[in-house]
Structure 1
């Protein structure tokens, strides 16, 4: 029952977000053997000015040892 939450800066079209969700579903089906009915994908837009407080500090920084892909940036 994978549930994926993608947080990104605003600016993508609804079509881009739908395409991203479709590609995530396909990747989960291919790599995890999940069925389409078991997958959910949410997309949350976070303003760039809020990114460090709402995403980096509470979610990314404390989880560095569990990230399979780490960001190429850090707190400034």
Structure 2
């Protein structure tokens, strides 16, 4: 606990993904008091031309009331 699944457009380097995961982990640890070993992060890349169908329509739109940060598009 917790597990975070990040989805983003294609093109992010492995180094950038590592840094993103490190920073998300640090924020979670700071605000939950959980140790680093309790945190897991997955990063998936999705092509921009299928983002709306694969991510927005299936995961974001149906769960809008659960989002603590809503998209602005």
2:48 is matched with which residue?
48
Question: Distance between the aligned counterparts of 1:12 and 1:62, measured in 2?
Answer: 27
Per-residue deviation, 1:18:
0.2
Aligned residues: 73
Runs of 4+ deviating beyond 3 Å: none
- Structure 1 residues not aligned, in runs of 5+: none
TM-score, with structure 2 as normaliser: 0.96
Question: Distance between the aligned counterparts of 1:12 and 1:38, measured in 2?
Answer: 25
Per-residue deviation, 1:40:
0.5
Per-residue deviation, 1:28:
0.5
Q: Deviations over 1:12-42 (max 9, x none)?
A: 1111000000001000000111110011000
SS at match of 1:22: helix
